[in-house]
Structure 1
Amino acid sequence: MGKIDKRNRLAELPFSYRVNKANTVFLNYEGKQVKMIKGKDAEKFLKKINFAENENERQLIMAKITGNFKRGNEGNQSTKQL
């Protein structure tokens, strides 16, 4: 994963997810909900997560699904100047 996560941001485990009774998946980035997945997309996501070998792979799967996090614009809010 060296070339994919050059800044080693995924090692901080910024992504998490939760699933409700209706099998809707809620993806969170640093504790804030950034995406909701339903239906077949949610099933596909859960299958990928279950087959991931380690937490780094799970983080990468969640980062790719959110989409916007591949552009490098996900910097910490504390480092941004107002």
Structure 2
Amino acid sequence: MLYVIHVWYAPSKRQEQSLMRPVSRKSASKNAIALALVAWRKRNKFSQSKAALKLKLSVRTLQEWEQGRSMPRHLALEALRWKIGR
């Protein structure tokens, strides 16, 4: 089951170009989660440390999710959606 977190986000020119390239479903999901996390963190003016503390994650895990290197598993994703209000 694929969950996508919708966020209003204005990408930079470089990000816009990378969003135009075809990607796999898993990769698209990772990107959506990454963009949602970064947007939520910036909207609330949290550092990565403070955001990780609020989400009860390690800073390293948050960094990996934000950079799209990994993504939360189903239960973690559900908890994340609840915590950031999506």
Q: TM-score, normalised by structure 1?
A: 0.37
Q: Work out which of the two has the higher radius of gyration on C-alpha atoms and give 1 or 2.
A: 1
- The answer to which structure, 1 or 2, has the higher relative contact order (CA under 8 A, 6+ apart) is 2
Higher strand share: 1
Q: TM-score, normalised by structure 2?
A: 0.36
Higher helix share: 2
